[in-house]
Structure 1
Amino acid sequence: MEISLGAARRRRATANGLQMTGHPRTARTGARALLASALAVVVAATLAGCQVAAPQAAVPEVVDGGVRLVDATLVDDPKGHVGPSTAVLAESAIPVPDVVPEPALPVTLTDMQGTEVTVTDTSRILALDVYGTTSRIVYELGLGDSLVGRDASSSFPEVGGLPLVTQSGHDLNAEAILALSPTLIITDTSLGPWDVVLQMRDAGIPVVVVDSERSLENVDTIIDQVATAVGLPEEGAALAERSAAQIDAKIAEIAAIAPQDPAERLRVAFLYVRGQAGVYYMFGTDSGADTLITALGATDVATEIGWTGMRPLNDEGLVSAAPDLVLVMTKGLESTGGVDGLLDAIPALQSTPAGENRRVVDMSDDEILSYGPGTADVLDALAVALYAPGASTP
């Protein structure tokens, strides 16, 4: 049976009710973010100069143990809170099926680039992208034991001991990949160089390219595509449905505690910073960060001022946006020397409510924009950091 991932995506988008009026996701419709490919450009231009290659078998440090939103004590005035916070997952362990599923193989599909691929063996899988999303999906589908390597963003402990195939930042290493003898590679266009992907195909390895878009709107789409590639479409549909329901429930939970008056909502800006490379971006509409901020019951100030995509930060744009709080990736914040370094590096930030109150919220680079089965937990951790900041760091 031949399957088109693009067609599957369209069918899923219709079936899961994203366009339904009044559905909890309606506010997110129309912001189909092209985050992966765009952010990959930023990563390619910056990480090479500021990220040290990880040891081959290094186990990533994953912080969890945070307080769940339901158990957190909310602050009376989120806008007036002073001081930084770190969003911490309450639990990082990944749930897996009780019984390892049996993939229905072979499967022939047409991937997101229009390439026909036949998958006959899923015993040795590499699932690679700049966010660690695809490896998480493979693991949660129950095929974790089939993963033979990882990318630098796959930071969950269950795969932490696997060899890296992106040994310099997020660059694919052909020799490292071939040494693992994969029978299937699942990837997208967020990693490169693309010649390495073509080299793997020339070597006879089935390579399935899935959607590079990452947003709250297409979590189920990515799950479906990965599940199709490994011959587990029914299991993928169940995981996608469960993940979508968890996300919608979490958004409703957050909406119940967030200010109802738009004027009282936290004004949030998402900044991508790499201090060692002198790179400072603000993410706006169609960046992926906009849907995240909206789901947190906050106002995306970049979208409000007409900021589209991800663009180099400028003083005028930041001051006019007047954020109460800025979201950053943890490694990005560390690269500037912490909150003090960030304020020194971006003097205009000091003239905003966020800067005046040192209201900076950071979260792991590998979690905050990963948009996978764990998205509801990411939203939960961020909501605690926004509305119960004293409980966010264990």
Structure 2
Amino acid sequence: MTQQYDARYDDAARARLVVEPPKRVDAPIREPFERDRARVVHAAASRRLAAKTQVVGPQTDDFVRNRLTHSLEVAQVARDLARALGCHPDITETAALAHDLGHPPFGHNGERALAEHAVECGGFEGNAQTLRLLTRLESKTFDADGRSVGLNLTRATLDACTKYPWTRDRAEAPQGVHGDGSPRLVVKFGVYDDDRPVFDWMRQGVTGTEQCLEAQVMDLADDVAYSVHDVEDGIVAGKIDLTALDRPALWERVREWYLPQSSDDELDDVLAGLRTQGSWPTTPYDGSRRAMAALKNLTSDLIGRFCGAVQEATFAAGDGPFVRYDARLAVPQRTRLEIGVLKGIAAHYVMSTDDRVELMARQRELLAELVEAMLAQGPDSLDQPFADDWRAAADDAARQRVVIDQVASLGDASAVARHRSLT
């Protein structure tokens, strides 16, 4: 099965920055993209995702999703859609597993705090940090000069992991909000200036800022997963009742955060369409096994609804092959509206509460103080790999980047504990 997909990806797509010798003859036979997936699964950065906020902190409840469980769900959606379209499922799944590796403690809220303290060293952005992890910080392979090249993934896989394939100076002004409800105040870009060499190698032969198809699939799978699962989490937490939505206030939130041009009539029509889904609830959630099963069927049906619509539209838009730069993913406007309405439901009933806004302010203050403490105390406050980077840094900007790398690597609880010990 994998050879069927591999035939559509040439030697350049399978190339690695550092050429690797053949594996032992007695080792399991795996294709290059299968090896990429295994490397991300076994990466330390993947394990750390379990301790990082998705929407609410991972210590708040046994049920809520964290960055790791979210990434696993995105990977499943991405793999199934990739298989249906005919692009490589291993590449797309790996991109989904890796898409949040660069996120710091406290999700997008933490990203905002680090961006404000990284201005002088080139900024901070979770997706640019993901590329840095995959190609430098997550050690597995070193080049002939003794420099880490990270996991040494193939060109096609690295490209699929790059959600924003452009530099900071080409980024558009941020607008709207993130999936966790925090405002978009950080410009979105995919590479720091000192990581340009590997980025340029990865994008060899590509002009402009177009995403490869596999990255588009990963991006959509991320959007679908958190739009559906945030609603599921809110229902189980008792904050959302899909049978009793306050539409006037809800539509104001939807326009404020996601769909500014949509009228009440249009949003009413979209919600009416979603309610035609056979598994849409007609009674409030009561926590029983039957209610849990019904809710799981709803989430499954909505994911299938969105992905099926995209698959049909993509096939209708072109003949393929649907790989890399030979095709574009087609997302119907109706599907975008339906996803936006679900996001708005979670935003209105879960993410806009006063206690959550106050908590996010405290989290940003904690990370700011942690960065300042590490800059003041130097390598003794850093883990060994980052202490080594500090000693090798040529100037203050480089040392600041090291501290940002260190703080971004921490989980929520580790950031709190490190802050307590250093301040």
TM-score range, shorter chain: under 0.3
TM-score by length of 1: 0.26
Report the structure, 1 or 2, having the larger strand content.
1
RCO greater where, 1 or 2, for CA within 8 Å and sep 6 or more?
A: 1
TM-score by length of 2: 0.25
